[in-house]
Chain A
């Protein structure tokens, strides 16, 4: 006769665990056990996702790479993706998104982002100039579809400018060995401003990529005719572009006019503001706050200024970290002028970082 393990023993273990969790909760109330565990290990498994800065490495005079130890809950990333980071700058929690520049499969499990300090950039300047190893940051899982497809394209073209190189660097570090033919056209004000300059030039010297550096202070901005001349087989290449809005608009127009629209993938770092809302009274019903906001002020900003605890992320409409239910009223999408309305109880999800009031509106926060 064979002994059959009674099913109770299998289910008894989770039940015991549930009981222990309940006991821990009863012992910790009004806090939760996690509040005490965070004192010891903020990166433990099961904790809210965080990362500890392991090192800050200068890249150029205004860019630095932050090497991060992510919490145990980190699910990994695909090169080209970005993360949301919550950074306390002068005591205030600020969320921003940054492209990952580390290869996807580092043996030590560390990840890296590379930040370029932009003028008046609260977070970027802090990270480049003031961040120190040991600091714990808030982290979110990687996201974004600016990634290489599988199978890899036979011929690839990357057109980048400034910090637009960051997602592409992540791709090259991870997948260059799977790419046979890579052209990288990168613009920066001067040769010294090229982020990852040494690494890129070494790859070019080894013949692994063809690198075209455009130093815009001397050479001027990259034009489309110039690009066609630099890359004669452009139409045969799958292309990825990342950089300032002006450049991306130009490239999208160019690819479209050549009938290649589907072959260009872009990643934007700034929202494209085309239309203002009408403005109106914004009610944050859970918090009980009410503010008058004009039609150009994103709801996110209006809420933050009113002291409301607003979720936020990239602040440019791509990461969906700021989405909140619109209980009622109307908001206008600042990027395309689209109007979203909600009747009482609808709870339509809106991106607060790129939406402004278009009349009275009520957010569920």
Chain B
């Protein structure tokens, strides 16, 4: 994709300013209808999910005490993986968004929640809620566009480093919780500021200490305490925890990729959001996310991020409501001539990975060459790019 402002045909060109504001009002009305009706049914839903997740975790960890016995290992590992995914996605992510703050329950509140993930809640809330959800898909502002290690848009400048990005992406997927923690620390930004001499070293170190402390606690629980409690089953239990964390990492990474990277999702230039109205903000969210189609189980396991479009429009509405308002949201898309990007998980995942592979090469690189000519052309391209980088440095 290319930022819509740089495209030959802007997919929003047919909308007048009045249209955009009218669209904003329609979406506000959808939001208001949910707020007016939010209540006991929603509260019962999240409490049920939390209850089921905790019991599943307890049961799985209990079964893993006997994980020397292979069926116990399999059952415990599957249960723990599902429990960790539920905890991160449908519970943690959404509670920390403030979706359940209206219940005024200090135990289920964005300001008190801590999740089963390497990144401390406070740091994650800043980089996710404040940065990503505010600057969604704005090039140079939304770091979720490639997490600073990948090129996922034609308008991001190609560098030789990106040649290996399919590999970076796979590695990041395997250790995704640590990837998120490193990303929430904004290490790149800190290093740049350090170079300029404007870095707040003490603040960065304090945050780094928080992360390391959290990582230590998490690792102690999964890789030391629970294995030791398993006695003779210590090693299989260790393996089960490693596996469950890996499964959780791969799954969450995949869900996130499907949310913003599939073909058809639009990006925006840095200056395009200056003086953005409510209607324009909504329009950007509509075009900057993609859904995953599927059944109830998929929606639950993605934390309803399978309704990424609805989530980006209304990040603080209870997640169980996204599927209910999806038909109304699709209707708005249709009436305003906009494309609601959705597809099955395999399709969206393939599309996102396709983009990661395609953009590891300079723009239009493959279309202009035969397969045989690619390696030579790449070498020719890498040398001047390197020289350019050195000159820039």
Q: Which residues of A contact B (CB under 8 A)?
A: 23, 26-31, 35-36, 39, 88, 90-94, 286-287, 304, 307, 309-310
Contacts and interface: CB of A to CB of B under 8 A. Distances in A.
Contacts of A36: 54, 58
Contacts of B378: none
Nearest to B61: A27
Interface stretch (B15-23, B101-109, B353-361): B101-109
Contacts of A304: 104
Given A29-B218, A91-B38, A309 B226 contact: no
A90 B40 CA distance: 4
Given A30-B217, A36-B54, A309-B111, A88 B43 contact: yes
Contact of B104 (A28, A29, A309): A309
A31 B225 CA distance: 15
A41 to B, nearest CB: 14
A309 B106 contact: yes
Contacts of B11: none
A286 B43 contact: no
Interface string B98-121: 100111111101011011100000
Contacts of A286: 111
Contacts of B214: 30
Contacts of A287: 111
A91 B102 contact: yes
Contacts of A93: 103-105
B27 to A, nearest CB: 20
8 contacts: A26-B220, A35-B107, A39-B54, A39-B55, A88-B43, A88-B105, A91-B40, A91-B41
B229 interface: yes
Nearest to A304: B104
A91 B221 contact: no
A27 B62 CA distance: 12
Nearest to A90: B39
Contacts of B220: 26, 29
B109 A309 contact: yes
B103 A29 contact: no
Q: Which 4 A-B pairs rank lowest in CB-CB distance, beginning with the nearest? A: A91-B43, A30-B114, A90-B39, A93-B104
Contacts of A31: 54, 114
Nearest to A289: B111
A310 B111 CA distance: 12
B103 A88 contact: yes
Contact of A30 (B43, B103, B115): B115
Interface in B76-102: 98, 101-102
Contact of A92 (B102, B112, B226): B102
A244 to B, nearest CB: 28
Interface centre among A27, A91, A286 (most CB of B within 10 A): A91
B115 to A, nearest CB: 6
A55 B55 CA distance: 28
Contacts of A35: 54, 107
B115 A307 contact: no
Given A30-B114, A31-B54, A92-B102, 4 more contacts: A39-B54, A88-B40, A88-B105, A304-B104
B155 interface: no
A307 B35 CA distance: 13
A237 B217 CA distance: 65
B51 interface: yes
B263 interface: no
Contact of B221 (A27, A92, A310): A27
Given A36-B54, A91-B43, A309-B106, A23 B225 contact: yes
Contacts of B42: 91
A28 B104 CA distance: 24
Nearest to B221: A29
B377 to A, nearest CB: 50
A35 B106 CA distance: 12
B333 to A, nearest CB: 29
A282 to B, nearest CB: 17
A309 B107 CA distance: 11
Nearest to A89: B40
Interface in B203-257: 214, 217-218, 220-221, 225-226, 229
A92 B107 CA distance: 13
A92 to B, nearest CB: 6
A131 B42 CA distance: 18
A307 B111 CA distance: 10
